[in-house]
Structure 1
């Protein structure tokens, strides 16, 4: 009971210290409000207002139908280039992302049963837009050609009808994905920064000497910093989910928010331990920032939220299983997107608990050595 009292009082002290640090308070508020909203509404993975042009060497009803099929908001009004000689100059100037070339006698060859070819030039410097836009354009052109061919052949029906239903994000809105993944990334970043800053702040303000003469253990000091900073992040994440994600962005949360907060607490335990361990290696906030940034970038980029784990090399995929961010990303997607329960996500919860325990033991040893050096 005495140990719990020490942890509680030291945690309250951490909350008071955080309250009097306006930079960190602003960072927390900004990260879970404005940053979430702007990224979710500004970063689009679907095709929006893509620039497209046509070189129409056929000039027939079918070619006009294909040109008129590209509509806002997916595409800007289709432009018409005089000839294929103008394609390179227009694309080099960045005027168009896509250029479709319709060759002469395209409609006549199609009606005659021959196999004419369309040419699609794509500016692949915008990789995501190029990939998604190519799929959009291919589908639109195929639909127009199929409709024209069916009409010219007497309305022959296709032998197979394909119906596509998208689960969890029926309208394929990128804001639904970006909002939740931004919260996951911000939790990762702040858990490192706040826990490490708490240790650096003790050293820079000279209060580490006060802790050395108090009847408290390094584990108690660490647990106090973890619960204090972790509770702030959990509260900020909850408000962000309810106010920003569900309220302003109108994103549907399929699963239990309380289960998500439980997993967040376990993840914060692991990440805060890592942040404290890194802080024991640094002597100032700039040094700690240089140490924390590579960890955050790698853990965020390779966690499965930015790029799927299945697309990574096997050795890298196995290596990232030792990162708590990998399991937290998988856990968050399962709970918030697919409405999974404890019976589904318990492996991720167990993995975060195990990794957090290992990181906590390492951090306690590093912190104890730091305090011993300071006392000597």
Structure 2
């Protein structure tokens, strides 16, 4: 992959993101099988920072009141360590959520066991889990696999990590990008999982992104929060927010990596651009792999009074079961779209709203374009695996974008039998 120069990248659309295995200087990874819930596949992954001082880390977590034990422990450790993390341990299949005090004890014990083996402070180890709510992780099983996990660490086994964190996902999700600024190369790569229970609010989604830049934890946290709002918090599959949602960004502060900070605004801006491009690609991969999904749709709202208003309308349309089933059926039903927009709690003049499917206007200034050719073209657009729905509220200059998928029989089949 040829790194994109900073002067050529003005927006995330200018950044080339590859969906292939990668390596980030300063990190080693591995994954193994524990058999706690799955058989014949890895389900326990490790991300290790080679820097003795640990990686700078930013984290965003679920806002669901039923916060899983690993979320509580990682949030606590991140605060106590001052944003310096040596390792992240992730398991799939068992969420360790709604498991009371015992769940907290088990999550903390796994962090301690790994810290002892790596000779790290316990607070520099973060943990993450995904899977069935209400079940306890098996600490002894994890402990027995730690030696194997540590024995085959590699800089380029991210595809193995991506497979290990899957639950109902049908495929691993990997993304990476490189950029060059002032003769310095910036590398960003990450993995994510998520297919159902997706309406992140921070998002069952997990994402782990690594970079080789040198950056302070508080600066990294600030950037991650901004990027997450435009990427992982701008997707929906079913409108449900998980108890375990976690996004972590770790910077190895590698000697050969670029130094970015508030005193290097051009480098900082370019790093944020690369990070946003990788996060957006991972987020869209989650939507593409939505449980039972056959179509991916971009919902764009423009002409809004505020960005929050634009996001409220976009999310309401994106999460509407009526809109999503129409998408599945290839029914270009503009009425469902404008009706969803009208109940979003945002003030705008209905007689000024316009609606587009891709570049085709189907509804102008509060009135449908009653034309057979328009209907024919709209139906053709709705038959595509990817398209865009754009609403112009004509009420301001702000905008927002949300990505969603269709709602199919497959979604019901998967979730009706999730625990069986």
Interval containing the TM-score (normalised by the shorter chain): under 0.3
Give the alignment's TM-score, normalised by structure 1: 0.27
Q: Which has the higher strand share?
A: 2
Q: Which has the higher helix share?
A: 1
Give the alignment's TM-score, normalised by structure 2: 0.25
> Which of these two proteins has the greater Rg computed from alpha carbons?
1
